[in-house]
């Protein structure tokens, strides 16, 4: 048994997003060079992120799949840099491919952020269990390329909770410690604006699963629909959503704008009676 893979988790806290992709909806192309990615990582560390989530496959609506070999090609220079200069915060790998997860863990990742919740690759849970790291299980209906094609639910909160409960059971059955599991309701992943708002309002029901809750709404389409702002103008709306999520039980906010999100959570936490 190694060190606690969730030792970084201090609720509420911020997970910084580092997309090593040409086509992510918000920062696609910005970090394809390892040096640029490292600058972003250094800035996010300085700004107060407690964990950095690296990914080499876009999961924006309409995105096509990227195979493991191409993900590894994009990530390899950054992995080499991180091995030489390990950051002062935890590392997460955003992937549904077991081979990519294994390589990232070798480079120091302590969390696998799997938007498929272990459904895309039958080996994923084995990799997580054998290496004794943590996993974040997210709800998504369909695949990124088709997930926004008229998604429908009878009770979106109940259905998301039931899905996450089932995936937790499968992960535990595969040998993953339940204490190493986080859950994410998957805002924007096969949901309309009404579904996303219902999930945010009902986040306490997700919290009742007993696992730390990750919420990612930074710069997403739901913020654009609510504010009428383009991607570059969605900071204030993203912060409003982050605070609403934390007020309803979110433990980790996944964000592009780390410094501003950290500041917002510090003020919220101080007012709520926590530590400033």
Give the other-Cβ count within 10 Å of 272's Cβ.
Answer: 11
CA distances from 6 to 3, 40, 132 (A): 9, 23, 11
Distance of CA 136 to the CA centre of its chain: 7
Pair 214, 242: CB distance under 8 Å: no
Regarding beta strands 90-94 and 111-114, do their DSSP bridges make them parallel or antiparallel, or are they unpaired? parallel
State residue 165 phi and psi, 5-degree precision: -60, -45
Distance of CA 191 to the CA centre of its chain: 17
Radius of gyration of the chain (CA): 17
Q: Which residues are tagged catalytic? A: 220, 254
């Amino acid at each position: 048994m190694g060190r606690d893979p969730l030792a970084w988790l201090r609720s509420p806290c911020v997970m910084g997003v580092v997309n090593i992709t040409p086509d992510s909806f918000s920062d696609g192309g910005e970090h394809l060079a390892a040096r640029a990615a490292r600058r972003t990582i250094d800035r996010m560390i300085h700004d107060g992120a407690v964990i950095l989530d690296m990914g080499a496959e876009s999961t924006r609506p309409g995105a096509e799949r990227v195979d493991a070999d191409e993900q590894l090609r994009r990530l390899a220079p950054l992995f080499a840099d991180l091995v030489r200069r390990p950051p002062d915060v935890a590392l997460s790998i955003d992937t549904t491919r077991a081979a990519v997860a294994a390589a990232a863990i070798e480079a120091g990742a302590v969390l696998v952020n799997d938007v498929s919740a272990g459904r895309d690759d039958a080996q994923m849970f084995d990799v997580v269990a054998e290496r004794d790291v943590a996993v974040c299980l997210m709800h998504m209906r369909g695949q990124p390329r088709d997930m926004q094609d008229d998604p429908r639910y009878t009770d979106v909160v109940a259905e998301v909770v039931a899905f996450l409960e089932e995936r937790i059971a499968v992960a535990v059955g595969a040998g993953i410690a339940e204490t190493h599991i986080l859950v994410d309701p998957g805002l924007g992943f096969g949901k309309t604006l009404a579904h996303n708002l219902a999930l945010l309002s009902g986040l306490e029901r997700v919290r009742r699963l007993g696992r730390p809750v990750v919420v990612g709404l930074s710069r997403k389409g739901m913020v654009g629909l609510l504010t009428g702002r383009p991607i570059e103008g969605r900071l204030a709306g993203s912060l409003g959503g982050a605070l609403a999520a934390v007020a309803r039980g979110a433990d980790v906010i996944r964000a592009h704008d780390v410094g501003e999100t950290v500041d917002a959570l510090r003020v919220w936490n101080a007012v709520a009676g926590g530590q400033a």
